[in-house]
Structure 1
Amino acid sequence: MTISPDILVFSDLDGTLIDHETYAWSAAKPALAALKKAGAGVVLSSSKTAAEMIVLRTEMGLNDWPAIVENGAGVLPSGAAALPEPVQYAQLRAVLDQLPEEFRQMFTGFGDMSIADLVEATGLDQDAAALAKERCFSEPGLWSGDEAQKGVFLKALEDQGITAQQGGRFLTLSFGSNKADQMRALAHKFNPKHTIALGDAPNDIQMLEAAEFPVVIKNPHRAPLAPLVNETRAIRTQLPGPQGWNVAILDLLNQIAPNPTT
C-alpha cells in the first residue's frame, strides 16, 4: 500500500540541502525533524549517483522515500541498497566516444577522470569521489570550449537522443528524463495534498516550476535564477544552502501544517 503524505518535499542536494563548500547538511536537521513529525515525505533529487544517494539517504533517515538520481535520469526505490545495472551509462559513453575528437576533448566526463581528478574538481574526499564515479544513467562533466562549440556538441548529442542539463558545476548528459519528469511521476504515485520543491541551479528550474511551493535557495557562488513561471508563489531564501533550507521549510510548515514542531 502506497503512503499518501499531506506534504511531499522534493529537494536538490549540492548548494541546497548540502552546503556548497563543506558538503554538510546539519543546519537543516531541525526542519528535517519537523517534516518527519508532520508525516511529510522527503524525496532527494540530485545529480548524485545511486551509490552516493544510498549513503546520504540513510544518514538523513529518509530510506522510506524514493530518491531521484543523476539529475532525473533514474530513480532509486524506497529502501533500495543495490545499484541498478549501468546499461544506459555504457550506451551514453559509447555515443560520446564516437564524436569528432575536436569536440570530444572539450568535454571531460566523470568517466574520463581519475578519482584524484574528481577530488580536485569537486572537493569530495576520495571515498565520496569513488561513489560519484559509479554511474548508471548519466554523465556529468566539465566543458572547456566556447558557447558556439558547445552548441555544436549538444546538437550532435541530441541527434543521438542525448539531452544536457547545466547544473551548478557540471554539464550532465543523459537519455531523456529530468528531475521534473520524475517529480511528476512520484507526485502522481503518492498523491500528496501539497508539494514543495527546493533548488538553487538551472537544472532545478523545471522541478521548482512543477511544485505548489517553489523554494529558490540562495547560492552566493552563482548568479540568481531568473524569475520562475510561478514566481508569485516562490520563496527566495536570504540564507544559503542548508541554513536557507531549514528556515524556508519551517516557515512553510507553519503555513500549511501549523504547529509541526510542538
Structure 2
Amino acid sequence: MPGIALIVFTDLDGTLLDHDSYSHAAAAPALRQLRDKGVPVVLASSKTAAEIAPLRAELGFSHVPAIVENGAGVLAPGAGADGGDADYARLRRILATLPAELRAGFQGFGDWGPEGIARETGLSPQSAALAARRSFSEPGLWSGAADARQAFLDALAAHGVRAREGGRFLTLSFGGTKAAQMGAIAARYGNPFIVALGDAPNDTEMLERADLGIVVANPHRAPLPDMAGEDAGHIRRTTEPGPSGWNRAMLDVIVERGI
C-alpha cells in the first residue's frame, strides 16, 4: 500500500489498555492523530477474534488486520468475531488421540468452558464467553506428573502442535508468533517503519524485531530485562505506565517521524 510511512503494532493488556480498568482513554490523543494521519494500528494480543473485533471497531481500526491468540492467527480487515475454527477443532481432535494418561494431565479452555475459564482467569462471565470462542490455539494448565510433561509435549509435536509458555498458561497451537505475523502484515503495507509496543515477555521478540520497540512500563510485573538494540536506541522504555505511557511515546514518534 503506497504512501504508508509508519505502522504500529501494539499489545493490549497493560500496554494500550490500563492494567486495572482496561480503559484506553489515556491514549486517545495519540490514537486520534494516528487515525487522522492514516497510520495503521495493528492490535496484537493473546485475546481471541471475538474479544478483539469489537475493540478494534471501537478504536476505529476495523480496516486494519489484528494479530490474535498470541500470534497463532490473524483477524482479517473488516472481519467480524467469527473467523472460523477449523484449526482449533483439529487441535482438539489431536488432543483426543493422545494416550489417556497424557491427555488427563492437561486441562484447556475447551475442557473448562466459559464457567471454568472465568474461575481460572478471573474474567467476568461475559469476557470468559468471548475467550472461549477460539479459532487457533488452546491455553490450559498441565497438572500431571512433572516427568510426563515432556512426553505430552513430544506427542503433540509429532502432530505439528507447538506449546508456548505464557505468564500462567501453556498454550498449544500450530505455530505462529506475534513477531512472525508482524513481519507478514508489514510486508502487505510495503514494509514501512515499524513501531511495536508491549510490556510482557511474550512481546520481546516483536519489540526486538521492530524498527523501534517501546517497552511500556507496567508496575504490576517485573520490568523486562535489557533487550537487544536497547543501547543503540532501537528499544525505548516509557516512564508512565499503560495507555499514558503509550500515548506519550507515540506522540513523540509522530513528531520524530514527521508524520
TM over 0.5: yes
1:129 alignment counterpart: 128
Distance change in 2, residues 1:81/1:228 (3 Å): same
Distance change in 2, residues 1:4/1:89 (3 Å): farther
CA contact (8 A) 1:6 1:39 kept: no
Pick which of 150-159 and 40-49 moved more. 150-159
For 1:236, give the aligned amino acid.
R
For 2:17, give the aligned amino acid.
I
1:13 alignment counterpart: 12
Distance change in 2, residues 1:108/1:220 (3 Å): farther
Q: Give distance in 2, aligned partners of 1:214 and 1:153.
A: 35
Q: Give distance in 1, aligned partners of 2:235 and 2:96.
A: 41
2:252 alignment counterpart: 251
Distance change in 2, residues 1:101/1:14 (3 Å): farther
List alignment gaps of at least 5 residues for structure 2. none
Give per-residue Cα distances to partners, 1:32-79, cap 9 Å, x unaligned.
Answer: 112123321101111111111111111111112111111111111111
Task: Map 1:48-67 to 2 at 5 A.
Answer: 48-67=47-66
Give per-residue Cα distances to partners, 1:160-219, cap 9 Å, x unaligned.
Answer: 211223333433211021111111111111024311011122221221121001011222
| Cα distance, 1:150 vs structure 2 | 4.5
Distance change in 2, residues 1:223/1:249 (3 Å): same
| Cα distance, 1:255 vs structure 2 | 1.7
For 2:183, give the aligned amino acid.
R
2:241 alignment counterpart: 240
Distance change in 2, residues 1:85/1:252 (3 Å): same
For 2:256, give the aligned amino acid.
Q
Distance change in 2, residues 1:143/1:217 (3 Å): farther
CA contact (8 A) 1:43 1:68 kept: yes
CA contact (8 A) 2:46 2:71 kept: yes
Q: Give distance in 2, aligned partners of 1:144 and 1:220.
A: 30
List alignment gaps of at least 5 residues for structure 1. none
| Cα distance, 1:103 vs structure 2 | 4.3
CA contact (8 A) 2:213 2:236 kept: yes
Task: Kindly tell me the number of residue pairs found equivalent between the two proteins.
Answer: 257
CA contact (8 A) 1:109 1:139 kept: yes
| Cα distance, 1:151 vs structure 2 | 4.2
CA contact (8 A) 2:186 2:192 kept: no
CA contact (8 A) 1:165 1:203 kept: no
TM-score by length of 2: 0.89
CA contact (8 A) 1:4 1:190 kept: no
CA contact (8 A) 1:31 1:249 kept: yes
2:117 alignment counterpart: 118
TM-score by length of 1: 0.88
Q: Give distance in 1, aligned partners of 2:145 and 2:28.
A: 41
For 1:238, give the aligned amino acid.
T
For 2:29, give the aligned amino acid.
P
Distance change in 2, residues 1:222/1:144 (3 Å): farther
CA contact (8 A) 1:216 1:234 kept: yes
- 1:36 and 2:46 aligned: no
Q: Give distance in 1, aligned partners of 2:215 and 2:203.
A: 9
The alignment yields a C-alpha RMSD, in angstroms, of: 2.2
1:138 alignment counterpart: 137
| Cα distance, 1:82 vs structure 2 | 5.2
- 1:27 and 2:26 aligned: yes
For 1:123, give the aligned amino acid.
G
1:213 alignment counterpart: 212
1:175 alignment counterpart: 174
For 1:227, give the aligned amino acid.
D
Pick which of 138-147 and 246-255 moved more. 138-147
Give per-residue Cα distances to partners, 1:102-127, cap 9 Å, x unaligned.
Answer: 54344331112232222233333222
